[in-house]
Structure 1
Amino acid sequence: MAVLLALTALAVSATPANGAAAAQSEWPRVVTDALGRAVVIPAAPRRIVAIFSSNVEMLAAIGAGPEIVAIEAWTRYPPEIVARAGRVGGRLGFSVEAIARMDADLVVMTPARQAAAGMVDPLGRIGVPALVLTHRRLDDILGNIRLLGRATGHDADGDAVAAAMAARIDHLRRCLSGRPPVRVYLETGSDDRGAAFTLRDDTYTGDILRAAGGVSVFAGRDRLGRVSGEAVWQADPDMILVAGTPAQAQALTTRPGWGGINAVARGDVAAVSRALLLIPGPRVVDGAWMLARLLHPAAFAAGGACAAAPQSVEGAGG
């Protein structure tokens, strides 16, 4: 799939070999964001506000973590950034005034929770570049990591992290080649009224499930939707995965009527990390390997085709 976001660099003649911020002579740079806006970045950013966990994780992975001065209240990773960074908003919205007080020279955000709609224009009026990213598919995540590398002057590290992620996914696909996909019901959430929710097929989570040798029993749905125990029973998955805690996975097995689902009766129910599956950042590749180990354990046994895993993404950048 072609990456949705394109980037044009102005006056860039070389990439720093050590992955550090580019020389001042290579600036300004112009990048095109997910809204199709040409965003001018006058100089290598030194005070970045990163809104939403995905953007914080991508910036940290490419070596721009030290430049992050503020985040939103619901970001949890990486812990060293969470511990020191300021806050510019949360569930109830975001504050352009707080960003201005941070003396920010770049804001990175996604459109969720009206962040882009409420902040792009005000930030433009006060002269703070705002870069809006969307992370719909796995290829978008890779492209956005490269884009952030160029937007922040961490060109080499952005390219290295994206290349390492792609290599690990390719390795996983190759070592699972020839194995029939495991039919999975992946529950992404539930509520106290008995509603359960599963993933959309055309998302980065759907992409990593397929890379891990799985396929959603509800593949083909065009939206994230409620599902019932009866629908899961009719779909008859090989395995049920719950994005959450072991206690949440155990609770699923006690729901009225769910005990009659074959996967529940067999005990083929497991908890999987929400952070590795539902936050579109570098760790989704770890999520793919986590899923693959659950779905195809024989491939990871001693002598199995996937027993030798390549380097983790966290070691790829500078």
Structure 2
Amino acid sequence: MRLVSLVPAATEIACALGAADDLVAVTHDDDHPPEVRRLPRVTRTSLPPDATSHEIDAAVKTAAERRESTFHLDAGALRDARPDLILGQTLCAVCAITLDQVPRALRAPVVPLDASSLDGMLEDVGRVGNAIGRARAAELLVASLRARLEAVRTRSAGRSRPRVACLEWLDPLFNGGHWVPEQVEIAGGTDVLGSPGERSREIAWAEVVAASPDVLVLMPCGFDERRAASDGQRLRRLPGWDEVPAVRAGRVHPVDGNAFFSRPGPRLVDGAELLARLFAAA
């Protein structure tokens, strides 16, 4: 079966199910597992590679106002890939390709991924597994991921629960949304800015200060830990920075949001495990 993935989470799910060799094309953002980096790309972005977080936010908002996207489909590359099945998503129309952007003339059968929660991610694993003939592998993977989440919850039980603020974007500030509050709760914390299943939202720095978090996690969407640490430097200049309990306690943690918090695939479980380690390290 010739698979084309239009979202990195779908690529990671397919590979986790043992279907890496079936993938024939992916997006320009795909980088995990490493072997997918050699595959042809069927998307591109209009965002400059050196754009600042503020510039990226402005471009995304402008695209949304115009009902456009910062991600663009290469119809010719998709045609050349000759997919038997397309894996896509319906969650974000501005910063990823959605299935309704695929020209009908080029459409193979599609599998839509629409997770906005950890359970939704696990359901997507099953959906992909059924579609690509790997239902048993999907059952085993889902069982393994559930067991790991339960192990994190069990290890965290009985500890004092830190107040946790997760920032999904740093200029302007957005809180962590969708599954992030669930990851925090399973890891033993209390999310003071978000609720499970809700979208991230733009927030004022004063809201972060007022929330008085014991732990501050910087997880900008699509960025690795190094970029999170670099972009996080601007927060130090904001009023009240030194008053935040997490700052006073040295518990401000830049993390790899791209790998563990932005993509609704199996590595969300790695993200919960990472948070548990951060919360336990007083």
Asked if structure 2 preserves the Cα contact closer than 8 Å seen for 1:249 and 1:270, the reply is no
Which residue matches 2:182? 207
Counting only pairs closer than 5 Å after superposition, residues 130-145 of structure 1 correspond to structure 2 as: 130-145=110-125
Asked if structure 1 preserves the Cα contact closer than 8 Å seen for 2:113 and 2:124, the reply is yes
* 1:54-79 per-position Cα deviation (integer Å, ceiling 9, x unaligned): 01000000001110010111212111
Asked if structure 1 preserves the Cα contact closer than 8 Å seen for 2:170 and 2:232, the reply is no
Q: 1:269 and 2:252 equivalent?
A: yes
Distance across 2 between alignment mates of 1:146 and 1:120: 26
Distance across 2 between alignment mates of 1:183 and 1:134: 29
Distance across 2 between alignment mates of 1:104 and 1:249: 41
Q: C-alpha displacement at 1:269, in angstroms?
A: 0.9
Match of 1:62 among 8, 17, 38: 17
Secondary structure of the residue aligned to 2:148 is helix
Which residue matches 1:42? none
Distance across 2 between alignment mates of 1:157 and 1:254: 49
Distance across 2 between alignment mates of 1:55 and 1:120: 20
Distance 1:63 1:223, change over 3 A: closer
Distance 1:132 1:122, change over 3 A: farther
* 1:100-146 per-position Cα deviation (integer Å, ceiling 9, x unaligned): 2112111100023352112163334xxx2111111111011111112
Which residue matches 2:98? 115
Distance across 2 between alignment mates of 1:150 and 1:225: 34
Code of the aligned partner of 1:168: R
Q: C-alpha displacement at 1:229, in angstroms?
A: 2.4
Asked if structure 2 preserves the Cα contact closer than 8 Å seen for 1:213 and 1:295, the reply is yes
* 1:228-258 per-position Cα deviation (integer Å, ceiling 9, x unaligned): 2221111111111111433334442343432
Distance across 2 between alignment mates of 1:199 and 1:148: 26
Which residue matches 1:159? 139
* 1:187-209 per-position Cα deviation (integer Å, ceiling 9, x unaligned): 11122xxx211123xx2222111
Asked if structure 2 preserves the Cα contact closer than 8 Å seen for 1:248 and 1:271, the reply is no
Asked if structure 1 preserves the Cα contact closer than 8 Å seen for 2:229 and 2:254, the reply is yes
Match of 1:242 among 206, 218, 230: 218
Match of 1:168 among 148, 159, 179: 148
Secondary structure of the residue aligned to 1:169 is helix
* 1:7-60 per-position Cα deviation (integer Å, ceiling 9, x unaligned): xxxxxxxxxxxxxxxxxxxxxxxxxxxxxxxxxxxxxxx211011110100000
Gaps (5+ residues) in structure 2? 46-70, 220-224
Distance across 2 between alignment mates of 1:242 and 1:49: 32
Distance across 1 between alignment mates of 2:279 and 2:133: 39
Asked if structure 2 preserves the Cα contact closer than 8 Å seen for 1:88 and 1:94, the reply is yes
* Structure exhibiting the larger radius of gyration computed from Cα positions: 1
Q: C-alpha displacement at 1:218, in angstroms?
A: 1.7
Asked if structure 1 preserves the Cα contact closer than 8 Å seen for 2:175 and 2:203, the reply is yes
Distance across 2 between alignment mates of 1:230 and 1:120: 45
Which residue matches 1:228? 204
Which residue matches 1:97? 76
Distance 1:120 1:166, change over 3 A: farther
Asked if structure 2 preserves the Cα contact closer than 8 Å seen for 1:69 and 1:85, the reply is yes
Q: C-alpha displacement at 1:223, in angstroms?
A: 4.0
Q: 1:81 and 2:36 equivalent?
A: yes
Distance across 2 between alignment mates of 1:161 and 1:283: 12
Distance across 2 between alignment mates of 1:81 and 1:223: 29
Code of the aligned partner of 1:169: L
Asked if structure 2 preserves the Cα contact closer than 8 Å seen for 1:179 and 1:213, the reply is yes
Distance across 2 between alignment mates of 1:214 and 1:122: 48
Code of the aligned partner of 2:218: V
Match of 1:197 among 174, 178, 182: 174
Distance across 1 between alignment mates of 2:103 and 2:110: 6
Gaps (5+ residues) in structure 1? 1-45, 299-318
Name the Cα RMSD after superposition: 2.0
TM-score, length-scaled by structure 2: 0.80
Q: C-alpha displacement at 1:284, in angstroms?
A: 0.8
TM-score, length-scaled by structure 1: 0.72
Asked if structure 2 preserves the Cα contact closer than 8 Å seen for 1:172 and 1:289, the reply is yes
Distance across 2 between alignment mates of 1:257 and 1:172: 33
Distance across 1 between alignment mates of 2:5 and 2:251: 39
Secondary structure of the residue aligned to 1:148 is helix
Which residue matches 1:16? none
